[in-house]
Amino acid sequence: MSSQKTFEQTKIFTEMVARKQGWALNPDASFYKSLVDGLAANYNRYGYFLCPCRDTEGSRDADKPAICPCVWSRADIPEYGHCFCALYLSKEFAESGKEPRAIPDRRYEDK
């Protein structure tokens, strides 16, 4: 593959997304690291930042809604305080000190 992403490059990507969207990054350092590792692994396998908590459907087109930041994060973060994989949190949720937990996957809502 022509380009591979390092942990550091992937971390910068998540910081950029969080800044642009007005979200916070998961403050649990080891959990955050595992998600950045997962995102980098997905980029280096598939060529795009597939959500680390979602499996590929086999093509970039099919996976497009699940490419980080996934389309469902815009609904999940206001409703649950964090996205499906819990990489991004609303600032309010992050300040509350609550711990993210598994939430329903909206990917299947319209299928």
Residues in the chain: 111
**What is the DSSP secondary-structure string of 21-80?**
HT-EE-S-HHHHHHHHHHHHHHHHHHSS-B-TTS---SSHHHHGGGBSSPTTHHHHHHHH
Q: List the one residue from 52, 63, 68, 77 that touches another protein (CB under 8 A).
A: 52
Q: Does 31 bind another protein (CB under 8 A)?
A: yes
Site for another protein in 1-30 (CB under 8 A): none
101 binds another protein (CB under 8 A): yes
Q: Which residues are near another protein by CB under 8 A?
A: 31, 34-35, 37-39, 41-42, 52-56, 58, 85-87, 101-105, 107-108, 111
